[in-house]
Amino acid sequence: MNAVPVRGWCPGALRPMESGDGLIVRLRICGGIVPVALAGDIARWSRRYGNGQLDLSSRGNLQLRGISRDRLPELHAALRERDLLDTSAAGEAVRNVIASPLAGLDPNAVLDIRPVTRDLEQCLTSDATLHALPGKFGFAIDDGGSLSLGDVPSDIRFVACRTVDGPAFDIRLAGAASSRLGPCRPNELVQVAGRLARAFLRLRTGQEAGIRRMRDLVAAQGAEAVAREAGLVHVHAPMSERLLDPAAFLGIHTLDSAAFVGMGLPFGRMTAEDFSSVQSAAAANGAREIRLTPWRAILMPVPSIAAVQALSTGLPTGRFIVDPRDPRCRIAACPGAPSCAQGTTPMQSDAAVLMAELAHAPGSGIVLHISGCAKGCSHPRPAALTLVGRNGRYDLIHNGVASDPPALPGLTISQATEHVRHLLNGDTA
């Protein structure tokens, strides 16, 4: 297995992370809901305090890159003025909640999850006991609507469902696909989430190094033990996930009389100028918010079909992915060198070279993952093909993640491209 330093935490605003191009400041925006005016501010902050590059993480958080340490206090002051700065780094670190991107807008949703999302984030921030959770421990709240979070990794997942007594949530633990907990009522969600989080902390006492996520605890002690510790009912009932086509939300879509445009960010990155253009077009067509997603895409809801048509003509579409057939939908790539201190290979330019090989790849979703190191930040799930950069060359992994042993080590970009071409064509060579 490839050795790689494990930081055990993700960057925040109060605790930024040093990278190859300066500090990374991550904005955890509640529910991924960005008011249009705030989007303009974020674009300006990126230019003023950073290098004008923005990332959208797999948890739907915006990252400002290239922030200099001497400008960080000014950025903090701007964030505080917009109520985007937490009261403590510990509280910020555990405020990891992913919510359905169309919350409150989707006519197919079971209920509006925005209130419980805000309440859960507030609980995680204010309850010091929960600050002991690992930095990557996360929650998902799925409203049961059109854009399922079934493929989004989380430690504790709440999935809205309809019952004879009204809306409720089924509860699922990572690593326990054949069981569920609950259901719980919407007004119980925050309390139940807290009970499960505290059960996790108690049951892993003395084993913190080996049990870092809920799936580790479930593997060691079982989902029933976690449920019992949290005072919840455990049911052996395999539940099929509602999996979302990875490109289903791209382009124009209707929401009854309203609509939205879905735009993917190539490799999860955009410039401040791109974001500013999106903000201007959204504001000009009646959009009040921009929604961030955990699929490295943004959604722009507008009040009418006519508005969405006008919006789509005013966007810098060449810089975004709006066609589900775009080969950029099939590839995940991290910033690589020199942007990332862990990277030794120029991932973004090499990803562009490999793009042509993916135009006719069968199936859907990510087929090729290009990672600058064995951490695999840009795609933590298995991919059909994974290329891991190592000292300017690549290790090729079949049907695995970046930390798995390679099938072919030390490939040049030309050799890697040839192998990718053969494998996608079904050849064994």
**Same domain assignment for residues 258 and 198:** no
Query: What dihedral angle (degrees, nearest 10) is formed by the CA atoms of 250, 251, 253, 259?
Result: 110
**Same domain assignment for residues 128 and 22:** no
**Same domain assignment for residues 216 and 104:** yes
Find the CATH number of the domain harbouring 229. Answer: 3.30.413.10
Residue 351 in contact with residue 370, Cβ under 8 Å? Answer: yes
**Same domain assignment for residues 219 and 100:** yes
**Same domain assignment for residues 383 and 347:** yes
Find the CATH number of the domain harbouring 307. Answer: 3.30.1370
**Same domain assignment for residues 349 and 279:** no
Domain hosting residue 373, numbered range? 327-424
pLDDT tens track for 270-296 = 999 999 999 999 999 999 999 999 999
| Residue that is last in its domain, among 235, 266, 295 | 235
Task: Output the pLDDT for position 137.
Answer: 97
**Same domain assignment for residues 396 and 307:** no
Task: Output the pLDDT for position 29.
Answer: 97
| Residue that is last in its domain, among 287, 319, 351 | 319
Write out residues in the chain with pLDDT < 50, as ranges. 1-8, 429
Q: How many domains does the chain have?
A: 4
Tokens of 386: 């994974």
**Same domain assignment for residues 135 and 226:** yes
Is the residue at 246 inside a domain? no
The residues near 205 (Cβ < 8 Å, ≥ 6 apart) are: none
pLDDT tens track for 12-57 = 999 999 988 899 999 999 999 999 999 999 999 999 999 999 999 9
Instruction: Match 């003509």 to its residue by tokens.
Output: 313
Find the CATH number of the domain harbouring 31. Answer: 3.30.70.3340
CA 138/CA 160 separation, integer angstroms: 17
Task: Output the pLDDT for position 151.
Answer: 86
